[in-house]
Chains A and B, each alone.
Chain A
């Protein structure tokens, strides 16, 4: 496995070198950096041109410039832009902004895409399948910046307006309830009666929740109360248990529920610790909660179900952690125009952690959604197709013939193998996301991002910032490619060696 990874990475080196040469050439021929000065009547123009020649090393032959640049690259020197600034300094600021956007969008689109993809394959020809298919095709057909403009208007500006005077009309409650009920009914599947029951329950829950939200003015002062946290956590623990074993395996369910309760109690005990925040602490909490889940499984799983109980316990505490973090997060939300439409402010370090996070998220959310749409559609379609293929395969029929419950057949047999081809899509959709990010950053006026570096560099015929962007992009594509291959090998024993 180790040598597989090394070999995989070594293969990419010549490709990267060749690509960088081609790109350097392309950037060089894309235009004349001195064009604007040649026509200029400014008496200083020859002077400026001379400086520019110096900075951009225009007098050297192309090959020499390339190798100089390449040599510098290995020492961390990305060259200078036309104003004489270090490109590496510009890049290090830009990478954080842009990668945060892309990674967030990619993770969101993978999670949602896989989930909806599985459901619409399992419920093939259902209303849910048809509507998610239509949605996916719609997302495929949307120009990114057109969506971004709409999101900026409706998702940010008008939503902020709404939040200044929030409230739910009867019509609003009715529409939201109807949508929830339809979605849950479609998710439930099975006989008409079963679906109707599920839909009705969802409708009641939705109406109650929305009325409470409206009555308590939740939207101006959001937050989950302790009973809600406990209720959600227990629900999440049952879901976690269902992933690993049928509900008749009591030790698994009990482990998950106990782990969830311990997690909630722990979060109350560690209240001030969590409130202070910080990524290090959050990571520590993650580790601790996973350990709690595992311990609950070990202790309560018994000999027969230990493995499933440990997995269920860990998943359960992970869910609880997510709920607790979400609670802190929305509690820190203060009324105001939180959804950002312009360049993100540099975070104010004096602000408390959770408030800073809210500011970050406010700026992140709309660009991320704009970017995630295409990725979501891609993952959803791919997962669906791959799932349909495996669900009709002989080994899934064998799994059914064993008498396994449907969840196990779907998750352990159909989905596990369906995931293998889906891995290959990650790279492609990442590359698309980079191009989308260039555009999204521009719509939301993120001036410090890599997109700006790239576009402005191109427009001003400023080769080194453009090259800096390209180096980062192609290295991340190559690394991601390797990661996808490694995951592939991990998931598929046939190509493991």
Chain B
């Protein structure tokens, strides 16, 4: 059916693996002119498609900026997030829309304003962003790891391993994520790392189900059978043959988990179960200052916009990755 797809040879990993074990490679190096499009490896195709995804690339750029701002920017910024004197009611001095009053772009002394005890709000926001990013990254990665391992083992071994793991997942699915996070964070109210681990523990279930389904279908494929026939160990089959084929799903769910973790942190903070003590997080700032909405709106807006910018960028990157790994959804190839 495909007139276009067939000619551009896409060596999928599955195909390459199959050809490698099952018999001689299919391409016998016949005479070639500039006729045939150079064949690309799966990885090259994925990278190429990802870089061609404009929105994902813009998002990647913005995300890098946001991360640099949070970590490097905070280090070089003149104010620490410490109390000081409140100037001009703490109003922001940032003037990002120069054409309104015509006096040009300027940052001023406190671009994001100050809070009621005179802390520079830019410094506070950046400090909070650091914590939120660390929490999201750790939570996302740990949840992905747990989900992949449990999903992979269930899908590969099936039988009682699968039954046990999946019943656990079923049971946990009926328990609201907020409860798990809430109970754990009440009991272990330590630093941001603990909070990240708590969020991870509450959010790996979907990943486990997705990865399990992929392992289940891949373990039936010819190349796995071939590897098994050649005496490869289970461990080797899982890590060398199946895992490379599910890497797309793993990467995509990881990005989604990271962006979800940011929002979970926000929700927990709102319910008073997030970062404790004097430390900041973006969620904590927004929930703390929601009542300041009418009096000092900048205290509410800046951290909120920062959260949305991070989550939006990560979501778009995830979408770009999904398209790169699985272009089926996007391209019309009849």
Which residues from chain A sit less than 8 Å from chain B, CB to CB? 15-16, 18-19, 22-23, 26-27, 29-31, 124, 137-138, 140-146, 149, 153, 385, 388-389, 392, 397, 428, 431, 434-435, 438-439, 442-443, 454-455, 458-459, 466, 470, 473-474, 477-478
CB of B312 within 8 A of CB of A15, answer no
Given contacts A15-B171, A18-B171, contact A137 B334 (CB under 8 A): no
Bound state CA distance, A153 and B290, in angstroms?
11
CB of A140 within 8 A of CB of B283, answer no
Given contacts A140-B315, A142-B308, A474-B174, contact A149 B329 (CB under 8 A): no
CB of B334 within 8 A of CB of A29, answer no
Residues from chain A with Cβ under 8 Å of B128 in the complex = none
Q: Total A-B residue pairs with C-beta atoms closer than 8 Å?
A: 119
Residues from chain A with Cβ under 8 Å of B287 in the complex = 145
CB of B259 within 8 A of CB of A459, answer no
CB of B174 within 8 A of CB of A478, answer yes
Ordered by A's residue number, 18 sampled pairs between the chains whose C-beta atoms are within 8 Å are A15-B170, A15-B174, A16-B174, A19-B171, A19-B172, A22-B172, A137-B312, A140-B311, A141-B263, A141-B312, A144-B267, A145-B267, A389-B329, A392-B334, A397-B334, A435-B178, A438-B178, A470-B179
* B112 on interface, CB distance cutoff 8 Å: no
Query: A224 CB to closest chain B CB, in angstroms?
Result: 36
Residues from chain B with Cβ under 8 Å of A23 in the complex = 175, 179
CB of B174 within 8 A of CB of A140, answer no
Bound state CA distance, A457 and B173, in angstroms?
21
CB of A143 within 8 A of CB of B266, answer yes
* B271 on interface, CB distance cutoff 8 Å: yes
Bound state CA distance, A478 and B167, in angstroms?
14
Q: Which residue of A lies closest to B304 (CB)?
A: A146
Bound state CA distance, A431 and B172, in angstroms?
12
Residues in B23-57 with C-beta less than 8 Å from chain A: none
A144-B267, A146-B304 given; 16 more Cβ-contact pairs under 8 Å: A15-B167, A18-B171, A23-B175, A30-B186, A138-B312, A141-B263, A141-B311, A141-B315, A142-B308, A142-B311, A385-B329, A431-B173, A434-B176, A458-B182, A470-B179, A474-B175
Given contacts A434-B176, A459-B272, contact A141 B171 (CB under 8 A): no
Q: Which residue of B lies closest to A18 (CB)?
A: B171
* B123 on interface, CB distance cutoff 8 Å: no
Interface size class, chain B: 35 or more
CB of B307 within 8 A of CB of A146, answer yes
Given contacts A141-B315, A143-B283, contact A149 B290 (CB under 8 A): yes
Query: B219 CB to closest chain A CB, in angstroms?
Result: 22
Residues from chain B with Cβ under 8 Å of A473 in the complex = 174, 176
CB of A146 within 8 A of CB of B187, answer no
* B62 on interface, CB distance cutoff 8 Å: no
Bound state CA distance, A459 and B185, in angstroms?
12
Residues from chain B with Cβ under 8 Å of A470 in the complex = 175-176, 179
Bound state CA distance, A454 and B167, in angstroms?
26
